[in-house]
Structure 1
Amino acid sequence: MPSFKGEFEHSVDSKGRVAFPAKLRKALSPQANEQFTILQGIEPCIYLYPNDEWEKVEEKLAQISSFSKRGRTVKRNFLRSAEDLSLDKQNRIPIPSHLKDYAGIDGTAIFIGNGEMIEIWSPEKLEEIDSNLSMDAYEEMFEQVMSGNNPEED
């Protein structure tokens, strides 16, 4: 199982391609075969799942009932922007224009390893999110999540 971690900033070229960070590439499992699913994040960022980890997400989605309004809505909104892609020969990924627009990514993209997946942010959106979180609030969240005592996980 890969464990993506770290933060990496790269330029986005005029065709929407961005170099995939070498340290993150080293963490890819051979089963991923340099294939990814890219989609709109819950926050104003992009999620990038290696193929083997995306299969686990699809297994969870398959357990959600399409017969309930909540199930249909979650699946529809989570999957509507998803696209499959792979690294090119220069180890770049093409970011689809609708995802770049959603995340506000223009000339620079920030990759953040998030365990089994990678988040891609615009520097401005990441700064905005970070500035809205006080150290005290982060400390409280961290304690709740890491202690397993988290009644209202967001």
Structure 2
Amino acid sequence: MNQLLGEFPCKIDPKGRLRLPSALLDQLAADERDNFVVNRGMEKCLMLYPKKVWDEKSAQVNQLNDFDEKARIFKRAFYRGATPMKKDSADRLNFPNQLLEWAGVGDGEVVLAAVQDKIEVWAAKEYEAQLDKELDMSSLAQDVLGNKNGG
């Protein structure tokens, strides 16, 4: 799996279809370009996983202890709305209406944000609002990377 990179402005049509940009598809291995799984993101966005990546993430989640209440809650949230999707001959994915409504990405402008091995699907205005939040990158980097090697 290659690391996915880039931001791609796109549109979702009135039928809930989104054409995947060729520049994004070209970053995927040939066997990862047709089958995807979409579900709710941690923020107000949708997470689009190549099926192979979804299977890996799902295997990690399935290792959580079912006797732990927080683990059960997380599993429900992680799988909530998860839907397999197959790309059509025009490189489009047809998103479930309930997920589009939840993320506020119905008929209109969206941004596909490639993040490591998955793709975030944001309403364009919400994506910009997230990025415009005042953020101290130096402090954030220290918090999340400070105890890691490298840098």
The verdict on a shared fold, with TM-score over 0.5 as the criterion, is: yes
**Structure 1 position 33, deviation (Å):** 4.9
The answer (yes or no) to whether the contact 1:36–1:84 under 8 Å persists in 2 is: yes
Q: Please identify runs of 4+ aligned residues in structure 1 that moved more than 6 A.
A: none
Residue in 1 that maps onto 2:121 = 120
- 2:67 is paired with a residue whose SS is coil
The answer (yes or no) to whether the contact 2:25–2:33 under 8 Å persists in 1 is: no
Residue in 1 that maps onto 2:47 = 47
**Structure 1 position 30, deviation (Å):** 2.9
**Structure 1 position 130, deviation (Å):** 1.6
Residue in 2 that maps onto 1:109 = 110
**Structure 1 position 133, deviation (Å):** 3.1
Residue in 2 that maps onto 1:152 = none
Which residues of structure 1 form unaligned runs of 5+?
150-154
TM-score (norm 2): 0.90
Equivalenced residues, count = 147
Residue in 1 that maps onto 2:140 = 141
Task: Encode CA deviations 1:20-46: one digit per residue, 9 max, x unaligned.
Answer: 011110111233251001000010000
The answer (yes or no) to whether the contact 1:33–1:51 under 8 Å persists in 2 is: no
Query: Any residues of structure 2 matched to 1:1-154 within 5 Å, and which?
Result: 1-106=1-106, 107-134=108-135, 137-149=136-148
Aligned AA (2:29): S
Structure 1 residues 68, 117: CA separation in 2 closer, same or farther (over 3 Å shift)? same
Cα distance in 2 for residues equivalent to 1:78 and 1:25: 25
- 2:84 is paired with a residue whose SS is strand
Aligned AA (1:138): M
- 2:121 is paired with a residue whose SS is strand
Mean Cα deviation higher: 48-57 or 30-39: 30-39
Cα distance in 2 for residues equivalent to 1:66 and 1:6: 37
Structure 1 residues 145, 80: CA separation in 2 closer, same or farther (over 3 Å shift)? same
Cα distance in 2 for residues equivalent to 1:21 and 1:81: 24
**Structure 1 position 105, deviation (Å):** 0.9
The answer (yes or no) to whether the contact 1:110–1:122 under 8 Å persists in 2 is: yes
> What is the RMSD of the two structures over their aligned residues, measured on CA atoms?
1.5
Aligned AA (2:140): M
